[in-house]
Structure 1
Amino acid sequence: MPHPDRERRGSSGRLTAGETPSPLRSGQARDHHWRLILHGALGDIVVLDLSRALAGPHAAQMLGDLGARVIKVEHPAGGDESRSWGPPFVGPENDISTYFLAANRNKQSITVDLKSTEGKALIERLVRQSDVLIENFRTGVLDRLGFPVERLHELNPRLVILSITGFGHDGPEGGRPGYDQIAQGEAGLMSLTGPSADEPYRVGASIADLLGGIHGAYGVVAALYERERTGRGKVVRTSLLAAVTGVHSYHGTAWTVGGQVPVAGGNHHASIAPYGAFHCADGMIQIAAANDALWRKVAALLNIDPDIPKYAINRERFAHRDELIADMERTLTKHDRAHWLAALAEAGVPAGAIRSIDEVYAWEQTRSQGLLVEVDHPVLGTVELPGPPLRFDGEPPVRHGAPPALGQHNDEILAWLEDRER
């Protein structure tokens, strides 16, 4: 694909070589492209997405999946930095980031220089016509750009503002920049992940960013619901620190109530046994015997006496977990994974394979749940993307919009804005 700074949009709506995209050009409204999911719960909501990278864009994408019109504001020189994150890259010029594709479906892209006078004026116009603004700048940056909360609510008292930071907007370290892996470490998640307490691991997915986006999106929906009663918007704040700490769950209460510091336990549960990954003759499977009745079924399959004192109840099984694993694997390693998964399924014991990513997307169960969606990308053509995790009974299948090229919707958004302002 040609570099976006040397492109313009042809009559087809695709980018063609010849002109730098301008955020101040007008054109005919082509609203059909972004009314694909109007039937969604948020079909009358406009989201102004000033965020970049992953946490904020993920929140905006979730709102777009629910039908909101999401206007992604990007700098003309390169746009969202995740456009350059890879490998892998795809496309004729091998310059389209699959990372960017993961967090920007159902959005329109407009290029704006937030530091310029005309850019600030355009943002003011967009703020007046929006229901939600999402930003994940470092604390104070939006203020310095001339858009503190007070100014945003002067422009639009009904505006809901989602602000996602690394470590919170205030407090002794509120101004720190936040990236996913740093937050995983600072928020304790790495201490819970890995083979042992001596080898902390990051979670393979950018879980702090993704959880921050999820928390932010549900905060926005709550604020929109409250706005129906009050008529006014409010600020929703979350952070990568809050997102990870917010899912400590029983690990948190182990310390706050129980006085114990949880540590990494590899592929086995921190409180339940047997519950984890076990070796078979040709690899590993997972078994989750979350109560004594399930344990008895597992024991019967593996010829273990379930009533001996060290295995009779979960407290004792956990205390003797290493012995229990060894006893189980002595039998499990005599047969392959397919044998044991079939036997466990017949016995009614929760168990499963450990799939690679390609296997997950080839799995018919994944596809049956709408977890893959087809979009028509302006350069790549028809491609499949990971789909939204929610489905609503009684609604027709959703047609999703492809992640946009940089500045792809400049004309369309400006025409829409002019229509709204009449």
Structure 2
Amino acid sequence: MTGEASPAGPLAGLRVLDLSRVLAGPWCTQILGDLGAEVIKVEQPGQGDDTRRWGPPFLDDGSNDAAYYLCANRNKRSVAIDLADPQGAALIRRFAETADIVVENFRVGGLAKYGLDYASVKAIRPDVIYCSITGFGQTGPMRNTGGYDFLIQGMSGLMSVTGLPDGEPGGGPMKVGLPVCDLQTGLYATVSILAALNHRNRTGEGQHIDLALLDTQVSLLANQASNWMNGGMVPRRLGNQHPNTVPYQDFACADGNILVAIGNDRQFRQFMAMIGLGALADDPRFAASGGRSVNRDALLGVMRPVIAQWKAAELIAAMQAAGLPGGKVNEIPEVLEHPQIEARGLVHEMERSDGTPVKVLGFPAKLSATPATYRTAPPRSGEDTRAVLTGVLGLDAAEIERLMAAGVIAERL
């Protein structure tokens, strides 16, 4: 890696060329950056990543960057280069020649005309690890169709098992409150890139990673898909109930709702004794997990009125004292101020180059020898253009000024 000195971290010494925008790709490259890789984020002059405008809320620092953008773009340097200009495409190809990893989420074949598709980049960097993220993948009848998280949540079957049952007030399919398809695809992209890196370390061979949002979410249907494939049970919406384990849901107490997550027969016996229904644990219908699932309506019909007599805090405290899993539904401000989250150091305060403070949620894994680092706050669009072109590609001041004047590159929006 040329240019700036390598940061500490398990991926130090690796350079990532980030040609992605919105969330799945940037989520992946942020993780790589957290683990020490140098990430060069290429953005369109005058526009930048789409999520910079996905607000409110926006930062009041002159950039007007949305809070959404801040969640996925720390530990990166931003260069603004016009990909559609032949001179701009040539600059990006020069970056690609120095890059260990390229991440992009253009339409299938969209980068070929710029000489930035996998075949073209491999020709100038044979051992490159090139990750393409699309809605439906590089093959198949829908390969040319654009994919968005909401669409994928529906098409993948996720929404068919999310929400209240039909016939209940508010029943019907419901999306998850986070863009989980994008986020999980970003995670799978990171895992795949790390696997490809290990392969390259052993063989010297790079490779192309073809990753689709739809494939990712279908693979994550997990137990719900297995229930159908191996048991013939069509998954359905159960609200907050679990398809296989009972009781595993929310219950109404006298002063609010609580969560009960009973995962085995021993816990069930303890919980039922605690709430004064110990005899039900010996009922043949409920003694084993499979029976409780089949007879859930009968069991819940007895449990609900008893739990409704408890105060929420008292029942949660009793469960915690007994080592049983239970709690409340926290709102976002509550969980971010929770003592456990504070103790784990999940919230980090950073400063942008102009001193503007921003808060980010950190990398969750605690690596004992090579922990994640938080080196640079999410950059303004193009704020590193001059420094990166000079430090990485060796352009002199006159050439940079010429490209600026021609509109090929830019500094900040």
**What TM-score comes out, normalization by structure 2 length?**
0.90
Structure 2 equivalent of residue 324 of structure 1:
299
Counterparts of 2:92 and 2:105 in 1: how far apart (Å)?
16
Please, which of 353, 365, 371 is the counterpart of residue 378 of structure 1? 353
Residue 75 of structure 2 contacts residue 375 of structure 2 at CA under 8 Å; is this kept in 1?
A: yes
Q: Which residue does the alignment assign to 1:363?
A: 338
Q: Is the 8 A contact 2:35 2:373 kept in 1?
A: no
- The AA in structure 1 aligned to 2:345 is G
- Give the aligned length: 389
Cα–Cα, structure 1 residues 233 and 394, in superposed 2: closer, same or farther, change >3 Å?
A: closer
User: Are 2:190 and 1:221 equivalent residues in the alignment?
Assistant: no
Partner of 2:399: none
Deviation >3 Å, runs of 4+: 29-32, 394-397, 418-421
Corresponding position: 1:110 with 2:79: yes
Query: For 2:393, what is the secondary structure of its paired residue?
Result: helix
Equivalent position of 2:409 in the other structure: none
The answer to whether the aligner puts 1:341 opposite 2:310 as a matched pair is no
The Cα shift of 1:94 comes to 7.8
Question: Do the aligned partners of residues 419 and 88 (structure 1) sit closer, same or farther apart at CA in structure 2, a change above 3 Å counting?
Answer: same
Letter in 1 for 2:118: V
Task: Judge conservation of contact 1:216–1:237 (CA < 8 Å) in 2.
Answer: no
- Alignment check: 8 A CA contact 1:47 1:131 kept: yes
Could you list the per-position Cα deviations for residues 354-413 of structure 1 after superposition, in whole angstroms to 9, with x for gaps in the alignment?
A: 100111110121122221112112346232211112210144673331000010101221
1:326 counterpart letter in structure 2: G
CA distance in structure 2 between the partners assigned to 1:95 and 1:89 by the alignment? 5
Q: Which residue in the other structure is 1:311 paired with?
A: 286
Aligned to 1:25: none
Aligned to 1:155: 124
- Give the letter for the 1:134 counterpart: V
C-alpha spacing 1:322/1:218, structure 2 compared with 1 (3 Å): same
Give per-residue Cα distances to partners, 1:28-58, cap 9 Å, x unaligned.
x9837xx5xx221101110000000011110
Are residue 66 (structure 1) and residue 35 (structure 2) matched? yes
Deviations 1:119-141 (A, max 9, x none): 01101110111100000111111
Whole-angstrom distance in 2 between the partners of 1:295 and 1:231: 54
The equivalent residue for 2:60 is 91
Residue 411 (structure 1) aligns with:
386
In structure 1, what is the equivalent of residue 410 of structure 2? none
Take 1:419 and 1:368, find their aligned partners in 2: how far apart are those partners?
A: 44
The worse-fitting range, judged by mean Cα deviation, of 56-65 and 320-329 is 320-329
Q: Which residue of 1 aligns with 2:222?
A: 249
Instruction: In structure 2, list runs of 5 or more residues that go unmatched.
Output: 397-413
1:187 partner amino acid: S
Contact 1:159–1:234 under 8 Å retained in 2: yes
- Please report how far the alpha carbon of residue 310 of structure 1 lies from its aligned counterpart in structure 2 after TM superposition: 2.1
Q: Contact between 2:21 and 2:105, CA under 8 Å: does it hold in 1?
A: yes
Root mean square deviation of aligned Cα = 1.9
Once residues 391 and 336 of structure 2 are traced to their aligned partners in structure 1, the CA distance between those partners, rounded to angstroms, is 37
Residues 309-334 of structure 1 deviation map (CA, whole Å, 9 limit, x = unaligned): 22211122112212322322222222
Residue 157 of structure 2 corresponds to 188
CA distance in 1, matches of 2:3, 2:90: 23
Give deviations 1:242-266, integer Å, cap 9, x for gaps: 1111111111111112122101110
Comparing 119-128 with 387-396, which one deviates more in the overlay? 387-396
Closer/same/farther in 2, CA of residues 412 and 291 from structure 1, 3 Å limit: same
What is the alpha-carbon distance in structure 2 between the residues aligned to residue 337 and residue 89 of structure 1? 37
Alpha carbons of 1:228 and 1:94: their partners in 2 closer, same or farther (altered >3 Å)? closer
Q: Would the aligned equivalents of 1:276 and 1:288 in 2 still touch at CA under 8 Å?
A: yes
Q: In the TM superposition, what whole-angstrom CA distance separates every residue of 1:250-289 from its partner, at most 9, and x where no partner exists?
A: 1111111212210111001110001111111221111111
- Seen in structure 2, the aligned counterparts of structure 1 residues 88 and 250 have a Cα distance that, compared at 3 Å, is same
Deviation (angstroms), 1:77: 1.8
Asked whether the equivalents of residues 101 and 130 of structure 2 are also in contact (C-alpha less than 8 Å), the reply is: yes
